[in-house]
Amino acid sequence: MELDQRLLFDFLEELLGEEGVEVANIIYEKEATDEDISKITHLRINNVRRALYKLYDNRLATYRRIKDKETGWYIYYWKMDLSKAPEVIDKREKDYADHLEELLEYEKDNMFFACKNNCSKVPFDVAEQLNFKCNICGEKLDFFDNSEMIKELEEALGKFKKIEAS
């Protein structure tokens, strides 16, 4: 599967944040150490490492390590490896769709109650345990119509499945 550049960029931005994308851009072009990346981007070394570990955990970066003969420490050279990117993106999309389906099922399977201040929405069994009083503000809990939430979840899931099918 050929990966669309815009989709990849959006995915990396969601995964890593803006700073992380800077890190990814550097190791996309050439192999670099975390210290090199930090100097080039002016990012703190911890932020650089966090982005590198996220890339590695998602199988989007690899490294090779070399032992420094003077210090005895290992130096890690990082490089982007996008060969698994389509699989990783597909898995995240499937996880998102599964999450939407779980939310939809939860909303459909429960009757909710909320106070007039909208402190929180609780299912019937919790409202009953609270004697239909809000545990935050103490106001009376009334029936909460979640049909709009159900409709929005169904629409989001429908759009998602439509995109997935194309």
Ramachandran category for residue 68: left, alpha or beta (phi over 0 → left; psi -120 to 50 → alpha): beta
Q: Is 95 within a domain?
A: no
**Sheet holding 112-114: strands in order across?**
121-123, 112-114, 142-144
| Block mean pLDDT (10 aa), the chain, length 166 | 69 89 92 96 96 94 95 96 87 89 96 95 96 96 96 89 64
Q: What DSSP state is assigned to residue 142?
A: E
Same domain, 18 and 65: yes
pTM above 0.75, yes or no: no
Across the strands, what pairs with 142? 114
Same domain, 121 and 60: no
Same domain, 119 and 74: no
Nearest 5°: the CA angle 146, 148, 154 is 105
Q: Which CATH number is 60's domain given?
A: 1.10.10.10
Q: Is 90 within a domain?
A: no
Q: Give residue 56's identity as a one-letter amino acid code.
A: Y
Structural domain harbouring 131: 110-165
Q: Is 98 within a domain?
A: no
